[in-house]
Amino acid sequence: MAATLVLTHFNELFVPNDPGHPLRGKEMNEGTILKDAYVAFDGDKILAIGEGDVPKSLIDANTKVEERRGMVATPGLIDAHTHLVYGGSREHEFSKKLNGMSYLDILAEGGGILSTLKATRAASFETLYDKTHDLLEQMMIHGVTTVEAKSGYGLNWETEKRQLEVAKKLNEDLPIDLVSTFMAAHVIPPEYKENPDPLIDEIIKMLPKVKEEKLAEFVDVFCDAGVYTAAQSKRLLEAAKKEGFSLRIHADEIESIGGSAVAAELGATSAEHLMVITDEDIQKLADAHVIGNLLPGTTFSLMEDTYAPARKMLDAGMAITITTDSNPGSCPMANLQFIMQLGCLYLHMTPIEVFNAVTINAAYSVHRNKTVGSLDQGKKADLTVFKAPNLDYLLYYFATNHAVEVYKNGKLIVKDRQLV
């Protein structure tokens, strides 16, 4: 079969393995790097990859052939944990953070998520749409082709629904895939501070509406000190599981209070943050095959030294991803490449582990592994092209956007670091 487009002579091409499950432990340091490589598209699908001269069978009179010398490529990058849709911003809290005020202290005085809650409740659909549209364009320019997006800045049905509807519309309008997560249990608003249990009841009542209107595939909850207890988180996630949702849980970000154990017990797809996870809970997640979605940009932004113990997780046989946590407070950014660089510098991951974390493992984390995340024949033709002499250079030369081209479903959506 002839290709519609063949990109040739890449210096290097990263080819992840897809064994039918997320890469775990030592598997994460495995993958193929093709030299003088080519990628062939059949419309919106991957047709073939290889090294050296392109087989004549892949080319006919209608095939477009383009050289990419001096460049490298990976499957389209996947950002598996974000809080994209929100109103306002929180730069007014920046000086407080610089002066040593903790995340929980800012939250306690009505800032943090509560500040964004107020701004998001006041924002119209159009305002949220335009703001998120701009953020997604930044992500695309940095090489991202698939994004997970959480709600959680409404904590009431009207605003949570509006957030999810914005994500749904942007998924339809932009050449990027959005995977939605319902996270109304993101913080405890003042009116429920003394007794959050009735709020859990209210959120559980929202679940059938989210399912009926097909607004989200996952349900998430913030299980940590000052937010939801392990028991409350478990009650919500059990109800979500009965409604047919896949599960996530924010756990062990500030204190270890049992969130990881809940993830393991309920068979969650992923547990998020895990900065202060115990060795015992690492083993529980590994045994239960729960993916660890790690967010080093949050630790960096909060000026903490509690980076998630990625090496311990890998030694225990866990599967991990790394992701931006893009949000207005603890990680206001849109550059997944910088997170990849932090993965090497602060999580002590190898380049191969990092590339696997943002491609095939991230695809499993958002349940898109059958269509994206690797370059297997028949998967979507999602490809990120970087101007670099080799793949290691992307992680060595940091805080720079190396992505010069991005293909989504076989179509060029970014060229010369600009949207097409």
Examine the domain organization and report whether 317 and 406 are in the same domain: no
Is residue 95 pLDDT above 80, yes or no?
Answer: yes
Whole-angstrom Cα Rg for the chain: 21
Examine the domain organization and report whether 83 and 9 are in the same domain: no
pLDDT at 102: 85
pLDDT digits (tens, 9 = 90+) for 249-290: 999 999 999 999 999 999 999 999 999 999 999 999 999 999
Buried b (16+ CB within 10 A) or exposed e, 322-341: bbbbbbbbbbbbbbbbbbbb
Examine the domain organization and report whether 349 and 408 are in the same domain: no
pLDDT digits (tens, 9 = 90+) for 178-236: 999 999 999 898 889 889 999 999 999 999 999 999 999 999 999 999 899 999 999 99
pLDDT at 191: 84
More confident residue, 194 or 384: 384
pLDDT at 110: 81
Which of 365, 383, 405 finishes a domain?
Answer: 365
Is residue 108 pLDDT above 90, yes or no?
Answer: no
Examine the domain organization and report whether 135 and 251 are in the same domain: yes
Q: Average pLDDT, stretch 145-157?
A: 97
At residue 79, what is the residue type?
D
Average of per-residue pLDDT values in the chain: 97
Examine the domain organization and report whether 269 and 388 are in the same domain: no
Examine the domain organization and report whether 302 and 218 are in the same domain: yes
Examine the domain organization and report whether 306 and 224 are in the same domain: yes
* Contact indicator for 158, 94 with CB cutoff of 8 Å: no
Is 62 within the bounds of a domain? yes
Is 370 within the bounds of a domain? no
Is 207 within the bounds of a domain? yes
Query: Whole-structure pTM over 0.85, yes or no?
Result: yes
Which of 335, 365, 395 finishes a domain?
Answer: 365
Is 306 within the bounds of a domain? yes
Is 241 within the bounds of a domain? yes
Examine the domain organization and report whether 41 and 162 are in the same domain: no
Examine the domain organization and report whether 124 and 155 are in the same domain: yes
pLDDT at 112: 86
Is residue 306 pLDDT above 90, yes or no?
Answer: yes
pLDDT at 292: 98
Residues 6+ apart with CB under 8 A from 223: 229, 230, 232, 233, 249, 250, 251, 257, 258, 259, 262
pLDDT at 104: 78
* Contact indicator for 326, 334 with CB cutoff of 8 Å: yes
pLDDT at 269: 99
Examine the domain organization and report whether 137 and 148 are in the same domain: yes
Examine the domain organization and report whether 379 and 287 are in the same domain: no
Is 309 within the bounds of a domain? yes
Is 301 within the bounds of a domain? yes
What percent of the chain has a predicted confidence (pLDDT) above 70? 100
Q: Average pLDDT, stretch 393-397?
A: 98
Helices (H) and strands (E) in the chain, counts: 15, 17
Is 50 within the bounds of a domain? yes
Tell me, what CATH number does 20's domain have?
2.30.40.10
**How far, in Å, CA of 222 to CA of 187, rounded?**
7
Residues 6+ apart with CB under 8 A from 141: 401, 403, 406, 414, 417, 418, 419
pLDDT at 103: 75
Is residue 334 pLDDT above 80, yes or no?
Answer: yes
110-119, 383-392, 400-409: range with lowest mean pLDDT? 110-119
Examine the domain organization and report whether 66 and 85 are in the same domain: no
More confident residue, 115 or 139: 139
Residue 230 structural domain: 78-365
**How far, in Å, CA of 103 to CA of 109, rounded?**
10
Q: Average pLDDT, stretch 107-114?
A: 83
Tell me, what CATH number does 287's domain have?
3.20.20.140
Q: Average pLDDT, stretch 300-308?
A: 94
Total domains, the chain: 2
